[in-house]
Amino acid sequence: MTDISKPKTEILTEWILASKKIVFFGGAGISTESGIPDFRSAAGIYQMEKESPYPPEEILSRSFFNRHPEVFFDFYKSKMIHPEALPNPAHLLLADLEKEGKLRTIVTQNIDGLHQMAGSKNVVELHGSIHRNFCMDCGRFHTLVELMESPGIVPQCKACGKVVKPDVVLYGESLDDRVIGDTVKAIAEADLLIIGGTSLTVQPAASLITYFRGERTVLLNASSTAYDHRAGLHIKDPIGSVMKQVGDILRTH
């Protein structure tokens, strides 16, 4: 039984100490404390600045990308790329837990690469990464720097001059089967599932947490979700500050 009189950060710490196969399933909320707004907020800012009539889901859809690449890349480059962002205490603690052999996998809906920057190795990127970009014609790989430095709003391939598309999953595109398989396997084998910074509304990604078969689920999210009933522990404080507190407690053990 969990002692509900204890501070929730202490309970989370105890659960981490008792676990050997932790999986972290995260969303935009883990990166907001690194200065990266969630895409709906970013799109809202973009709409105000540009007086754009397009809703967020339309801007980041494959059909919109095909029809209006200039608008897509204007938004993408100005609001989705944050090269100055650095990992926060949540990213860093997860990387430490992996090094200690407690955390098996990070499953992220984010495309910012901050988990890898923090030192995490086993990261499953459900929605791709801004750091991978490929020519839609010849397939040539382009770095983020190459994409950003390409002349004109729409980036062009250095080899053939055709459009370079970020390796991110847009609305209307399917998740990679291998990525789904890796996610399902990791979650099914976990003994502690920590869900952080996600409203669990984006499908099919959100439904993947239903494969968890363990007894302990932690939800670190400011707002309620449709999956709250699955969580044995719900902490609504900012995830970065929560994980810093947990890290401080762990260092005393």
68 catalytic per annotation: no
Residue 4 pLDDT: 61
* CA neighbours closer than 13 Å in the CB half-sphere of residue 63: 5
Range of the domain at 160: 131-168
Residue range 136-156, pLDDT digits in tens = 999 999 999 999 999 999 999
148 shares a domain with 207: no
186 shares a domain with 230: yes
52 shares a domain with 73: yes
Catalytic pick from 68, 82, 115, 127? 127
Boundary-marking domain end, from 168, 192, 217: 168
123 shares a domain with 56: no
Tokens, residue 52: 């754009």
Residue at 3 is within a domain:
no
Q: Supply the pTM of this predicted model.
A: 0.92
Rounded to whole angstroms, how far apart are CA atoms 3 and 125? 35
Rounded to whole angstroms, how far apart are CA atoms 251 and 253? 5
Range of lowest pLDDT (28-32, 64-68, 142-146): 28-32
Q: At 1, is the pLDDT very low, low, confident or very high (cuts 50, 70, 90)? A: very low
244 shares a domain with 159: no
159 shares a domain with 55: no
Rounded to whole angstroms, how far apart are CA atoms 246 and 253? 11
Percent of residues, the chain, with pLDDT higher than 90: 78
Residue 43 pLDDT: 67
Tokens, residue 169: 């999953």
231 shares a domain with 121: yes
233 shares a domain with 153: no
- Opening angle at CA 73, ends 65 and 135, nearest 5: 70
- Opening angle at CA 34, ends 91 and 133, nearest 5: 80
Residue range 167-200, pLDDT digits in tens = 999 999 999 999 999 999 999 999 999 999 988 8
234 shares a domain with 120: yes
Give the residue-averaged pLDDT of 108-125: 97
**Which CATH number goes with the domain that contains 137?**
3.30.1600.10
Residue at 1 is within a domain:
no
229 shares a domain with 118: yes
Residue at 2 is within a domain:
no
140 shares a domain with 155: yes
Percent of residues, the chain, with pLDDT higher than 70: 97
The average confidence (pLDDT) of the chain is: 92
Rounded to whole angstroms, how far apart are CA atoms 110 and 133? 16
Could you tell me which residue, 253 or 112, shows the higher pLDDT?
112
- Residue 184 belongs to what H/E stretch? helix 177-189
Give the residue-averaged pLDDT of 228-238: 92
Q: What 3-state class would DSSP assign to 14?
A: helix
Q: At 214, is the pLDDT very low, low, confident or very high (cuts 50, 70, 90)? A: very high
